[in-house]
Amino acid sequence: MFEPGTVVDDRWEIVGPLDTGSMSVVYRGRDRADGHPVAVKVMKPEFSRDPVLVQRCIREARVVQGIVHPHVVRVEGAGMAADGRPFIVMELLEGETLELRIARGRIALPLVAEVVSQVADAVDAAHAAGIVHRDLKPDNCFLLDSPGGAVRVKILDFGFAKLSDRLANPDGFRTESNALLGTPLYMSPEQVRASRDVDHRSDLWSLGIMAYELLVGAAPFDARPLPDLLLEILSRPIPPPSARAPGLPPALDSWVVRALDRTPERRFQSGRELADAFAAALRGVTTPTEPPPPPPAIAPVVRPTLRPRSLPRWVALAITVAAALATLVAVLLGSRRAHGAATEPPGALACPPARAVIAPHEPCASSSSERVM
């Protein structure tokens, strides 16, 4: 335990304890540079000897720093304390976890819709940054105290987050692909199977379980021990929320069918799609249990190569006959002209070729009385 007045990393002064988790202690602190309050999360000594857990703590800080969103807790610093324990410094949040709020009783539907919407926006921001939370649950969602009772949610604890391949991991730490990570009650079927294919839709399943719990006051699965619970997640039919909480809009039943489909491709594909459908279900709009079909593929337009058109056969025949007649006429005319030239009297002058005639009306003859037609 850090005593009040302890200074961590020459900057963060411990004021007092705030909360204790399974692997860490959270302290109220302040930034000595300007005095603003912070929360300092420090790993317990018995876990700080495990290099994998230490790497995970450091990695969590780096992951959260990569998400800038009003509904994701802000990380202000991280490092190793003087005694070798890793720590994370976060903004100080005043309020309670969603888990504590659920324990006090059912929540009004407008509040449920607002919580679902804000958490959906936060997970969409994480997914856009290439991060899958993998431990989304009410205890990792914090309801802030807000003036006038306005709802404001922050997502916490990215310790089990999965990074996309495009995000560099300079410390070489990787979560085992066959490890069962997360809180079992909120795990997606693909998490239960420890699948390599866990993606952003796993978080959407977890959000669907949270929404179900907010609606009826209990999660859809309740088996004990753990193997039975995991079997329920994989195969047990999910009771419609209206059957467990009379008075809920029946349209929420079809929303749950879609949100908790065991095939990821058939679920909602984004947090915003899930939240919008939830709000519509509260208004009585039934959610299609089948995802909309993908738009048809548009075939590329192939422009044909233009080729000269072939003429109809009768036109070609007509042209051939006309050419033959023209040739015949030319032969006959040439023969007639040759005969006329042979019968002219001696001394008659032959006319020059037609192309040499400049004045076609000028007579060409040996005397004024002769014309050549």
**Residues annotated catalytic, as ranges:** 135
Residues contacting residue 210 through CB under 8 Å, at least 6 positions apart:
98, 116, 119, 136, 137, 138, 141, 186
Contact 205, 137 (CB under 8 A): no
Angle between helices 271-282 and 200-216 (to 10 degrees): 20
> If we measure between CA atoms, which residue out of 242, 281, 235 comes closest to residue 258?
281
Contact 89, 51 (CB under 8 A): no
Contact 56, 159 (CB under 8 A): yes
Contact 116, 275 (CB under 8 A): yes
Contact 62, 169 (CB under 8 A): no
Q: Which residue shows structure tokens 């969103």?
A: 69
